[in-house]
Amino acid sequence: MPTKHKFTTLMQVMETIPAHLVPKLSKRYGIDKRCRSFSPWSHVVSLLFAQIAHSLSLNDVVDS
């Protein structure tokens, strides 16, 4: 059954993070220079998804 609204829990959590914060911190700590194909924002989203979904391993995140 499809949801009646388009705002998921993950989206609501992500909206609490200021848009400028992740790029600012990635530049400050040099993360943006070391990442190849996975952006710092994508990393934050996947980590929060793993927490919300109660994933026990990376395989759980990939399977989701």
- pLDDT tens-digit map of 9-40: 889 999 999 989 999 999 999 888 887 888 88
DSSP secondary structure of 49-64: HHHHTT--SHHHHHH-
Mean of per-residue pLDDT scores for the chain:
87
Q: pTM of this prediction?
A: 0.76
Which of 38, 40, 19, 43 has its CA nearest to residue 29?
A: 40
Angle ∠(64,19,51) on CA atoms, nearest 5: 30
